[in-house]
Amino acid sequence: MSKLAGKIAWVTGAGTGIGEGAAHALAAEGATVILTGRRPGPLKDVAAAITAAGGKAHAKAGDMTDAAVVQGIADWIVKKFKRLDIFVANAGINILDRSWDKISPLGIDTVLHGNLDSVFYGAIAVLPAMRKQGGGQIIVTASMAGRWVGLMSGPAYVAAKHGVVAACHTINMQECVNNIRCTAVLPGEVATPILDKRPVPVSPEERAKMAQKEDVGDLIRYIACLPDHITINEVMITPTWNRGYVAALQRAGV
């Protein structure tokens, strides 16, 4: 039997990238997957692909930076399926003009709302149902930028992802007594559409060496399949050909 049979999983940012990979992986393991993102078209495409493969998926479009919308989707899930077992908070965004000499108030709001506020809104929307049913799991796509400070991702993104990692640990600190677990997943470079927002373009050859959405999706599936008494608080996943390491070797002349 599939390990997640009978489980209800809500995946945000599910139309592309890591969210898409996670949705496919969770559905293949037997979960019924609810897909959320801003654009209905990609969500419907992912849902159709999952269904064609024998899985169960429902597209529910919405903006995760709107607290009322987030709560409304959570309420819809609980009303329809009577439970919510897994919440994959994956929605995220970055901007091109991200450095201190270029970023604007609008850019700051875009990055903080899209990466930090969205996680908080999702968490407070799903936690009551998880407490009531006696447990649940939250898996958050953070970033290596949430553990180490650097300039590449931009200060707003780094700050938001540090906040996300901290939030995950505080969920475990408070909700462990309610059998609720939270994992911060810290990917390195992943070949997803967010790379299109890089100020310096990333070539197809470089993207091919990066972690892929299926790789991170499978890690999320693994975390979701762990027994209730086990929590992976924080985990990193990076490409073997790590461009940061390679650049450091080149600078060192190794």
- Give domain status of residue 60, yes or no: yes
- Give domain status of residue 54, yes or no: yes
Quote the domain boundaries for residue 60. Answer: 8-252
- Give domain status of residue 146, yes or no: yes
Identify the DSSP state of 89. E
Between the alpha carbon of residue 213 and those of residues 24, 112, 177, 226, the distances in Å are 10, 23, 33, 21
- pLDDT value at position 171? 98
Task: Give the whole-angstrom CA distance, residue 221 versus residue 55.
Answer: 14
Task: Give the whole-angstrom CA distance, residue 182 versus residue 232.
Answer: 8
- Give domain status of residue 230, yes or no: yes
pTM for the whole structure? 0.94
- pLDDT value at position 254? 77
For the chain (254 residues), the mean pLDDT of every run of 10, in chain order, is: 93 97 98 97 98 98 98 98 98 95 98 98 98 98 95 96 98 98 96 83 90 96 98 97 89 86
- pLDDT value at position 1? 59
- Give domain status of residue 1, yes or no: no
Q: Which residue has the tokens 């073997």?
A: 240
Total structural domains in the chain?
Answer: 1
- pLDDT value at position 111? 98
- Give domain status of residue 2, yes or no: no
- Give domain status of residue 3, yes or no: no
Task: Give the whole-angstrom CA distance, residue 104 versus residue 64.
Answer: 22
Read off the CATH number of the domain in which 180 is found: 3.40.50.720
- Give domain status of residue 225, yes or no: yes
232: left (phi over 0), alpha (psi -120 to 50) or beta: beta
Pairing status of strand 56-59 against strand 86-89: unpaired
Catalytic site positions? 157
